[in-house]
Structure 1
């Protein structure tokens, strides 16, 4: 079973599980500020669940690539939308500041 390291927490999940669902089920705050209530609930359209991931996950879909190429995101930052990611092995997740997680300061590593 893959492990997900988020800040000081390490949790396990099944291979292929959706990262957003796993984090929320384990009471990990994936969102910054009001994005906790103002988000697309996993549709991949708002971009508020952007995180940096190290480790094996699914490839980006066209929907995810498109959203992450639009402001305030920047495709050069190598962020992923947790709602669009399937966990394929052991990963580490970092969340950054900013409403959409687009900032440069790590708020959970």
Structure 2
């Protein structure tokens, strides 16, 4: 079973589990500020669950690629939307500052 390291915790999940769901189910602060109440609840349109992911995850699909190509995000950032990411193996997740997680300073690390 894959392991996720996020916000100082190590979480075990099923292969192909949705990263957003696993993080929220394990009390990880995925959203910054008011994004915790103002978000799309996992349909991939708001971009507030943006994180840096190291490890084995699914490839970005059209919805995620589209959202990550719109400001304040950038497709060159290498970040992912947790709601659109499936965990395929062990991963390390980092959250950055800013309403959409688009900043350069970290909020929390693995």
Q: Give the TM-score range, shorter chain.
A: over 0.9
Say which structure is richer in strand. Answer: 2
Aligned to 1:15, the other structure's residue is in SS state: coil
1:80 paired to 2:80: yes
Give the CA deviation at 1:34.
0.1
CA distance in 1, matches of 2:7, 2:40: 24
Q: Which runs of 4+ in 1 moved over 2 A?
A: none
Q: Describe the SS at the equivalent of 1:38.
A: coil
SS in 1 for 2:56: coil
Describe the SS at the equivalent of 2:57. Answer: coil
Q: TM-score, normalised by structure 1?
A: 0.98
1:34 matched to 2:34:
yes
State yes or no: 1:4 paired with 2:7. no
Q: Shift of the alpha carbon at 1:57? A: 0.3
| Secondary structure in 2 matching 1:89 | strand
Structure 1: runs of 5+ lacking an equivalent:
none
1:15-94 mapped onto 2 (5 Å cutoff): 15-94=15-94
Count of aligned pairs: 109
Q: Which residues of structure 2 form unaligned runs of 5+?
A: none
RMSD, matched Cα: 0.5
Cα deviation, residue 74, structure 1: 1.1
Q: Does 1:99 align with 2:99?
A: yes
